[in-house]
Structure 1
């Protein structure tokens, strides 16, 4: 019996006989059809991934890695707004494995290594295809890097904070990302204009990176397409990956015959009737600002200037651009990316005033645009706020029984959500884990810590 799957929760590993069903509608609004695979010995494994952010693109990539000559893989990626159009695409793109207090995050080392590997996949996709000239609304020339490897600094403000950081640093031996201290004088050499005293303590993560999130996701999507084409050329003609820009109204009405469906919708997950109110997630709306250093300033940032974490964060991109964030409105139900004039004014006032306290030169920068996104925040556990993963068949089936739209030959449904502000650190590592669990139909592959929500949450 699979770990964490018992009784009515246990996955059924016996493949039901494929049958042909006439088209019929369910209360959720979709017309659903079922068809048998013509060649069971060369069956195409078909998967639906809902959401084209960090989680969804990682899952799609790792599902494709299971392609082989006897079992091609077809992945349908559903997102009505396109690749990276949600909260993932407007995030700061800062990657490091530490908590705000300097603790190593749960599985932070594994998450870091997997993310760096996936960044390399995206970078290779661009490097190998010179025909890519537009990665949509990134505001970056194509020659600019996808990943900036400049490090991150975090000034310390109190003695208690310094002591706590130093205590946590002693536990970090053997991890791939160094957390060290530098003096205020050294920090000002790296970041001219930083308001720290010469003998202040500043924490420095020299290997930390920042990315352009939307451009990264577009490049990873291109890598998925390239992989599918190459697999087809090698003899897996039916291996495909397709972006379907349609709104998914409900899980039970997905227009296709899938072996598995993975829900990676972030804060929009509660819009699905089957899952509304069933997941221990809260929402947090945030606004980030894209800024440009005017040419008339006569200045440029140092090529090696690190990004900055403080009461706000500054993700440095190149010598004349940065992303500044983020405001936080917890419990917001506003999922639209549209920002009202009043919301924009309040956000800018908050971001600029907080940032100017630690980095006064921000006052000379010009705001070029604002972006908004809503993150799904998971509950805190004894090892931090962890994503939610697992098979959600029982939740879906209970909903269908209550609404009299149960059907046979239904796929397994899976959740990968609640990444909150940890999307970058966990998306690659957990995307691979989820893909392995989906393909093998084995929930025991997933870390037990990330499935605890299922046993604390009623699914009736």
Structure 2
């Protein structure tokens, strides 16, 4: 058998280049001002000055009192009301979730609301990390533990998905996916998952795993269903935006959903500018702004740099002030022989057929996922902190080494026909793992971008599972549908999200 080869000539090369450009489109323009570690990796950023110290956090058990809460509550401006207008910067998973929730809640409350999405592309599902995501929707960590708010998050994402499917019924590729174990420890963990969460997880022995997925040399794994799905994210985003437009059009009040294409910044146009226009100037006409552009918030300098901390040189403006890291992810599209088996999204109780190139989604650290094009699969993703990207050959070599047992047929007989690339904003680990950054923006952002600005970023590889529920929570805040906060100094938070502002107290690592 011959190994999979890099074959990017002719139309394939053009497709790969277009895919790579598309994936990085929103992140690649503007000045690069990322502080680097000595190794060349992107360095951690300190919080804005509104964060509390670690000692304060330990003393109050991570509660709301301290500088962060006080600064957050400064100028807590008017909530949205009938006739309000909202700008959403970034039309990926976070931005469209927020836009959809706002329009739906406005309609339910008989309010008129105008939502404008600003994006580097001329339509949804084209650029940014969201457009090249693997599309695996499930609520579990690699160890099989249920993520924080995992059950609620899965339900919320499926609500949005059902709205998208009204317009794009082909957005769901599978109604199941598989997480496999390669170590005894992980096999024990996943068996426990199947016992604790039978509504989503079913344990399979190694023979069943191979028969259904083609993955070899496993110690068994989970079949995940009950709302766990494989989604073609670009198609899903297009359907979700179309539902935003329909929701606005059907409103009896003066509502609107509008997409504005913002051309790329050019060198010399200045920080915080897009198409030569500063974001503060562009957003001035709106009553509120949601900053949800992922890596574009940092690489395009939409957010202001945080004030220097001790040990930083004066004038060093490369710090973003949030507990995040920018991580490059590259994936490969591998050509395969189309599976003759069942791919109609049923419950997967059949024997899977044992085809050499089955098109099921499998994950174990990395992932293998089907694509709408039945003669290709997506394998990803690298996790790159260094400033220069890996070459296509190194990407293929790295992913082959890590997934050859998950997709033995495609790696043996297929060709790498495209390499996609995107930047993820990865939040640091907090007390409940990696959670999105969502809520009212710190005062530094409000003073430089918009006085009523909100953040929704840091979804990283959990964008599909968290974009719905945290978009719902954020828009509850904006609409005034939240707890008022008990003790003096606490932030208003949506019901069920007392730790929404974890990122104002400092991320760990």
1:355 to 396, 403, 408: 403
Q: Partners in 1 of 2:341 and 2:416 — Cα distance?
A: 16
* Secondary structure of residue in 2 paired with 1:181: strand
State the shift of 1:119 in Å: 0.7
2:191 to 149, 166, 175: 166
State the shift of 1:168 in Å: 4.6
| Residues 123-272 of structure 1 mapped to structure 2, 5 A cutoff | 123-126=165-168, 145-172=170-197, 177-191=199-213, 193-196=214-217, 200-207=219-226, 208-231=228-251, 235-236=252-253, 238-246=254-262, 249=273, 250-270=278-298, 271-272=301-302
- Counterpart check, 1:448 vs 2:490: no
Judged with a 3 Å threshold, the aligned counterparts in structure 2 of structure 1 residues 14 and 221 are, in CA distance, closer, same or farther, namely closer
Unaligned runs of 5+ in 2: 1-63, 265-271, 306-318, 349-358, 483-490
2:135 to 93, 116, 131: 93
State the shift of 1:124 in Å: 0.5
* Secondary structure of residue in 2 paired with 1:440: coil
Q: Partners in 2 of 1:47 and 1:349 — Cα distance?
A: 45
1:293 to 328, 336, 359: 336
* Secondary structure of residue in 2 paired with 1:448: coil
TM-score w.r.t. length of structure 2: 0.69
Q: Indicate conservation of the 8 Å contact 2:194/2:201, yes or no.
A: yes
Q: Indicate conservation of the 8 Å contact 1:179/1:204, yes or no.
A: yes
- Counterpart check, 1:105 vs 2:125: no
Tell me the equivalent position of 1:19.
none
| Residues 393-404 of structure 1 mapped to structure 2, 5 A cutoff | 393-397=442-446
TM-score w.r.t. length of structure 1: 0.76
For residues 215-257 of structure 1, what are the alpha-carbon distances to aligned partners after superposition, in whole Å with 9 as ceiling and x for unaligned?
11111111111221222xxx32x31111111166254333442
State the shift of 1:386 in Å: 0.9
* Secondary structure of residue in 1 paired with 2:469: helix
* Secondary structure of residue in 2 paired with 1:75: strand
Q: Partners in 1 of 2:211 and 2:166 — Cα distance?
A: 33
State the shift of 1:65 in Å: 1.3
1:274 to 289, 292, 304: 304
State the shift of 1:441 in Å: 8.3
State the shift of 1:425 in Å: 0.3
Judged with a 3 Å threshold, the aligned counterparts in structure 2 of structure 1 residues 351 and 300 are, in CA distance, closer, same or farther, namely farther
Q: Partners in 1 of 2:78 and 2:95 — Cα distance?
A: 26
Tell me the equivalent position of 2:162.
120
| Residues 291-370 of structure 1 mapped to structure 2, 5 A cutoff | 291-294=334-337, 300-303=340-343, 306-317=360-371, 319-330=374-385, 332=386, 343-362=391-410, 363-370=412-419
Q: Partners in 2 of 1:121 and 1:80 — Cα distance?
A: 24
Tell me the equivalent position of 2:8.
none
Q: Indicate conservation of the 8 Å contact 1:258/1:411, yes or no.
A: no
* Secondary structure of residue in 1 paired with 2:141: coil
Tell me the equivalent position of 1:35.
none
Q: Partners in 2 of 1:163 and 1:308 — Cα distance?
A: 18
Q: Indicate conservation of the 8 Å contact 2:336/2:414, yes or no.
A: yes
State the shift of 1:316 in Å: 2.0
Q: Partners in 1 of 2:398 and 2:455 — Cα distance?
A: 35
Q: Indicate conservation of the 8 Å contact 2:325/2:425, yes or no.
A: yes
Judged with a 3 Å threshold, the aligned counterparts in structure 2 of structure 1 residues 185 and 391 are, in CA distance, closer, same or farther, namely same
| Residues 350-429 of structure 1 mapped to structure 2, 5 A cutoff | 350-362=398-410, 363-397=412-446, 411-429=451-469
What is the total number of aligned residue pairs between the two structures? 386
Deviates more, 1:271-280 or 1:94-103: 271-280
State the shift of 1:203 in Å: 2.4
Q: Indicate conservation of the 8 Å contact 1:49/1:78, yes or no.
A: yes
Unaligned runs of 5+ in 1: 17-39, 128-144, 401-409
Tell me how large the CA RMSD over aligned residues is: 2.9
Q: Indicate conservation of the 8 Å contact 2:71/2:442, yes or no.
A: no
Q: Indicate conservation of the 8 Å contact 2:493/2:500, yes or no.
A: no
Q: Partners in 1 of 2:184 and 2:396 — Cα distance?
A: 30
1:10 to 60, 69, 73: 73
- Counterpart check, 1:53 vs 2:92: yes
